[in-house]
Amino acid sequence: MTYDRLATASAALAGRLAGAGRVAVWATPTPETVVAVVAALRAGVPAVPLNPKTGTRELAHIVADSEPTAVLAGAGDTLPPVLDALDRIDVDTAGEGARATLPEPSPESPALIVYTSGTTGPPKGAILPRRAIAASLDALEDAWQWTGDDVLVHALPLFHVHGLILGVLGPLRRGGSVRHLGRFSTDGVARELSSGGTMLFGVPTMYHRLAEALDGPGADGLAKALAGARLLVSGSAALPVHDHERIAAATGRRVIERYGMTETLMNTGVRADGEPRPGTVGAPLRGVELRLVEEDGTVLPGDGTGPDTIGEIQVRGPNLFTGYLNRPDATAAALTEDGWFRTGDMATRDADGYVRIVGRKATDLIKSGGYKIGAGEIENALLDHPGVREAAVTGEPDPDLGERIVAWVVPADPAAPPSEQELADHVAAQLSPHKRPRTVRYLDALPRNDLGKIMKRSLHG
Ligand code: MCA
Ligand code: AMP
């Protein structure tokens, strides 16, 4: 799709959206999603991107919470009954209409509401203002010397920050190109990077699969394609040093990492002209203040650059969200009085300011395939299954996914426990396929302390 086509199709659609309140976008990895989001941005109408694989319970929550007036979808998309009450607007990528210049909304007005998981309860909608998106993308322009000549290749989903904001709005803001693979494959990456692609964005699972493929048949073509890229960028979760080194050994190129969050957009990154040190996520991006803080709120000396100091990362800057939709309690808990956002990520800093993420405060947050998943939401879904009496969910290390979701289940009837597949299907249908347990372990009782609290740390395989 050319810029000219996108401008015309999005203007035609924007004309229909003006004053619509909020709109949901059925965010398939297609040009329709791009036209829908750009149209909403032009109309100044906040868009709520929906994962098309979201299950019944989670979708019902998102719709009830964000109250969109309409859902934008491709003409051929089948929408689930939960969305029946909304107006459906089919997105026409060939749409024609007057290219009226729409007034630019204020920088503080919400552009996107992106749902993100917490430790307990259903996902919260992070309100992302136009100012945050612009600031974060412009900081990446500075860090990566990102220009209109860049051709970005990726296969990230278009309902999260990584794929939608960095992966689509990023190239649009620079006037560059994006080639979305539709679905991740190492062949697709090799094909696009060897035919003009200049940058690759991916989650560590994708780089792990590239590292594996570099050991297999067709490795030479893939190695050449990766070596030819200007930048290979990983984010959304920690890139294992082993995969980093395997890719470097096979291609002579080092993957650079950047660190972000739905609520903060991008915080740190290794610069295009910086040193890609494995295991670090680089220095704070332009405009971002970052400090490490102890449990009691004490700021670590040198904002954490002292030796042997570990603290929680707090960030402040124009890249931050404005709050969680309908959740003033959660918003207040996430921010300090003077506007620092508590990330929950634990880190140390090298003497030159590079940040090394070493862990997470909450054991009940799991990062699997680059998706953030709350143990609590899965436990609640499992408890809804008639065959489950008690449930606890943990994350275990996984070479491909980073962490794998494990469900510990006390069956209602020990003689006839629900099968692993049945429970995985149940969670996939209620929440989302990427939240399904990959392993189920059956117990007679969950380990509890004297107060009756489940002792998750004693649950391991
Ligand atoms: C399997 N499937 C099922 C079931 N089992 N569907 C329904 N019920 C079941 N029981 C389907 C899945 O939906 C999927 O379909 C296919 O089978 C394979 O599933 P799975 O093994 O889970 O997928 P995968 O191929 O292993 O996915 C790996 C992946 C993916 C491609 C790396 O995890 C991914 O796209 N991750 C990106 C996450 C991301 O963008 N995070 C950004 C958020 P199908 O194959 O059709 O899909 S973090 C963020 O935004 C911050 C700001 C940041 O820092 O970036
Ligand atoms: P999300 O809420 O899905 O936006 O995920 C944000 C979380 O992903 C952060 O709080 C980090 O725990 C993690 N994350 C993102 N990028 C990186 C990275 N490069 N290295 C380690 N963790 C990361």
Residue 423 included in any domain? yes
Question: Both 205 and 350 in a single domain?
Answer: yes
152 shares its domain with 290:
yes
CATH number at residue 376: 3.30.300.30
CB 217 within 8 A of CB 186: no
How far, in Å, is the centroid of ligand 2 from the Cα of 48?
21
Q: Is residue 283 part of a domain?
A: yes
If asked whether residues 203 and 262 sit together in one domain, one would say yes
Q: Is residue 245 part of a domain?
A: yes
Q: Is the CB of 267 under 6 A from ligand 2?
A: no
User: Are 379 and 240 contained in the same domain?
Assistant: no
Task: Give the closest ligand to the alpha carbon of residue 258.
Answer: 2
Query: Is the C-beta atom of 313 inside 6 A of ligand 1?
Result: no
Residue 130 resides in a domain: no
**Structural domain range at position 388:** 365-458
Pairing of strands 87-91, 124-129: unpaired
**Distance from the CA of 237 to the center of ligand 2, in angstroms?**
5
| Residue 129 lies inside a defined structural domain of this protein | no
Q: Ligand 2 in contact with 236 (CB < 6 A)?
A: yes
Q: Examine the domain organization and report whether 384 and 266 are in the same domain.
A: no
CA-to-CA distance for 35 and 90, rounded, in angstroms?
11
Q: Are residues 346 and 377 in the same domain?
A: no
Pocket flag, ligand 1, residue 29 (CB < 6 Å):
no
Instruction: Decide whether any atom of ligand 1 lies within 6 Å of the 260 Cβ.
Output: yes
Q: What is the pLDDT of residue 116?
A: 97
Which ligand 1 atom sits closest to the C-alpha of 161? 50
Dist CA 256 CA 334 (whole Å): 28
For ligand 1, atom 46: residue with the closest CA = 183
Reported as a single tens digit per residue, the pLDDT across 134-182 is 999 999 999 999 999 999 999 999 999 999 999 999 999 999 999 999 9
Confidence label for 312 from pLDDT (cuts 50, 70 and 90): very high
Same-domain check for residues 243 and 271: yes
Whole-number Å distance, alpha carbon 291 to ligand 1 midpoint, is 32
Domain identity same for 381 and 348: no
Q: What local confidence, expressed as pLDDT, does residue 98 receive?
A: 77
238 lines ligand 2 (CB under 6 A): yes
Domain boundary among 105, 138, 157: 105
- Is residue 114 domain-resident? no
- For residues 193 and 46, membership in a common domain is answered with no
170 in the same domain as 249 = yes
Q: Tell me the two tokens of residue 404.
A: 């794998």
Q: How many whole angstroms separate alpha carbon 221 and alpha carbon 187?
A: 9
Q: Please check whether residues 191 and 74 belong to one and the same domain.
A: no
Q: Is the CB of 281 under 6 A from ligand 2?
A: yes
Give the Å distance between the CA of 349 and the centre of ligand 1.
Answer: 31
The mean pLDDT value of the chain amounts to: 96
Q: Are 293 and 311 in contact (CB under 8 A)?
A: yes
Task: List, for residues 17-58, the tens digit of each pLDDT value.
Answer: 988 899 999 999 999 999 999 999 999 999 999 999 999 999
Q: Is 434 in the pocket of ligand 1 (CB under 6 A)?
A: yes
Looking at the structure, tell me whether residues 280 and 415 fall in a common domain. no
Interval 352-393: pLDDT, tens = 999 999 999 998 999 999 999 999 999 999 999 999 999 999
**Pick from 301, 328, 355: which residue ends a domain?**
355
Q: CATH number, domain at 64?
A: 3.40.50.980
Distance (angstroms) between ligand 2 centre and the Cα of 168 equals 19
Q: What is the per-residue pLDDT across 92-121, written as a single tens digit (0 to 9) for each?
A: 999 998 777 788 999 999 999 999 998 888
Closest approach atom of ligand 2 to CA 117: 2
Closest Cα to atom 10 of ligand 2: 261
pLDDT for the residue numbered 97: 84
Read out DSSP for 144-156? HT--TT-EEEE--
Percent of the chain topping pLDDT 90: 92
CATH of the domain at 250: 3.40.50.12780
pLDDT at res. 386: 97
* Mean local confidence (pLDDT), 331-347: 97
Q: Which one, of 205, 170, 172, 202, lies nearest residue 189 by Cα?
A: 202
CB 211 within 8 A of CB 246: yes
- Whose C-alpha lies nearest to ligand 2, atom 13? 237
